Structure 1
């Protein structure tokens, strides 16, 4: 008579086998996303990335080096979900093209540019300095973009699963720039109402990420929680403060973006997730 293993034992053995396979040294790891993943202005610029502005010490590079993974980093500054799925930037193909059947890990950080998150931070800050042509999304635009974002994130996850059925997928959230229980500072030149709107935008963006991760059964680096107490005005900030755009070969820090400490903190949490 054939003896069947209890279902729980079977599931544990299957998960253990999958985890070992996914995390084997040399496994293909694809990192996709926007500037928050690329790391412009952080550490040493990867010259091969041209205007995508990838850093040699962004969170994906750090994790890949520690884990011995074969990283393909295609994150690109300014990217939206369309740049992952449909068209590339700066002469590179759409980022999804990097995901091949042998890919075992995919991490992506995208969506902020779809809703104009950093653009609005820049726009409000620009207004405070009396600059001209400072663009900010109106509330109706923002609401519409947030409503469309879950479907866009779903399509990214679905595309990864079609191309690499055995890959583990990890979403990475956005480090917050504006603290929930503090005012502004010279590095965050927003009026009180503007700061409140950006807090609300961050909270809503975080909710979209959490709901998507749960709905699509993927892992999530909860960057909003990691960055609490480390916003722009904090003594130990994970995010850079405002300054007018002055990008020179991506050597200068980019305003309202992760600094090296922020990248390292995300890398730490991503590695902890993989350890599970």
Structure 2
């Protein structure tokens, strides 16, 4: 958080992978975010598949946690995650026609998330094999427990090597090691999770050791641990509100892999980690009109809710999350400050809208404390310098008046 009365640079917004209803993304630089990892980062089976090179081959979803985070905060996402990846595919080995993932990390990167290691120890492969065997399948293969156990002796070191490689490629980047979703309940299983007690116990041991190795690597190599395994506890494949699929999911879905709710949960956890590291902040946007603040009408979360001028009151309707120094979105109540219809004309109203990574939701700090929407080249404006509560704000030619002056402060 910033000190009261301190003006904070919002920065420049970013092009984001993904789309939405409010307009097409335009140019601009911003917080550079690179996502690395295996299928639990890529999101196979969650529609729609991303566009771009390698997305289909890697089963990379436009609703994986990295894509959600990028839309929420207005980051410039490069997603190199790929289903089936191992630490070797991150560091040295091409996969699915794509180069090693580390090549996606440049010196400009400021955030790098990594979910990797599960395939090194055959986590999903083994639980699939056991479920096939116990569920009456054929040609199920076998599980080499000795090989898995031996690899665990090397896993923390492999993960440390990944973090070290990221730091080498991007010295300014903050690295977040996001561990794996919890798949199984603490005890027992359920109808669509066909495992014996011994098989389930062994898979729980893999999950536990994988989480421990990730935590060790984060501590040793100077990364932030994002403990998704703990956060997803109680959202296993047998839970009432699962974050992962069962062994027998709906058509098109991937057994034992994250669903939409899981990826949203993971994204929320990553955003909390970004806030903890100071890469996201939340503040009140004070107007140059004395005593007035940027406010969401009635604390409503619906698309199209007016964003307005209102007496400063410290409520959640006036708490805006942003990326200091890099810019992107201004987000409150789960939605983003949005130019209605992606308009570019004077007097176009602003509103709250689902975060979608478009140019209508990008804001740049300009002269005289202004907030500029680069898509239109216009400034966030209080019509006629109104002092009347509930006056809906608009975009207007930048003019340096108090009606376009905004100060982000913690109170």
Same fold (TM over 0.5): yes
Distance apart, 1:199 and its partner CA: 1.0
Q: Secondary structure at the match of 2:166?
A: helix
Q: Distance in 2 between matches of 1:150 and 1:204?
A: 10
1:93 aligns with 2:99: yes
1:194 aligns with 2:202: no
Q: 1:211 aligns with which of 202, 216, 233?
A: 216
Please tell me the root mean square deviation across aligned C-alpha atoms, in Å.
2.4
More helix by share: 1
Q: Distance in 2 between matches of 1:201 and 1:153?
A: 16
Distance apart, 1:138 and its partner CA: 2.7
Residue 15 of structure 1: aligned partner: none
Q: Distance in 2 between matches of 1:89 and 1:141?
A: 22
1:256-271 alignment, distance < 5 Å = 256-271=256-271
Query: Which whole-Å deviations, capped at 9, do the CAs of 1:91-141 have from their partners, x for residues lacking one?
Result: 211110010111111101000000000000100001012223323433211
Distance apart, 1:47 and its partner CA: 4.3
1:4-15 alignment, distance < 5 Å = none
Residue 34 of structure 1: aligned partner: 38
Distance apart, 1:36 and its partner CA: 0.5
Residue 242 of structure 2: aligned partner: 237
* Count of residues in Structure 1 that have an aligned counterpart in Structure 2: 254
Query: Which whole-Å deviations, capped at 9, do the CAs of 1:22-47 have from their partners, x for residues lacking one?
Result: x9971110000011000011131124
Q: Distance in 2 between matches of 1:80 and 1:117?
A: 11
Residue 327 of structure 2: aligned partner: none
Extract structure 1 runs of 4+ deviating beyond 4 A.
none
Q: 2:174 aligns with which of 160, 163, 168?
A: 168
Query: Which whole-Å deviations, capped at 9, do the CAs of 1:225-262 have from their partners, x for residues lacking one?
Result: 11111101001001100039x9xxxx811001011111
Which segment drifts farther, 263-272 or 79-88? 79-88
Task: Tell me if the contact between 1:119 and 1:136 (Cα under 8 Å) persists in the aligned partners.
Answer: no
Q: Name stretches of at least 5 consecutive residues in structure 1 with no aligned partner.
A: 1-11, 13-19
Q: Name stretches of at least 5 consecutive residues in structure 2 with no aligned partner.
A: 3-9, 15-28, 277-411
Task: Tell me if the contact between 1:50 and 1:90 (Cα under 8 Å) persists in the aligned partners.
Answer: no
1:252 aligns with 2:217: no
1:19-98 alignment, distance < 5 Å = 26-48=30-52, 49-98=55-104
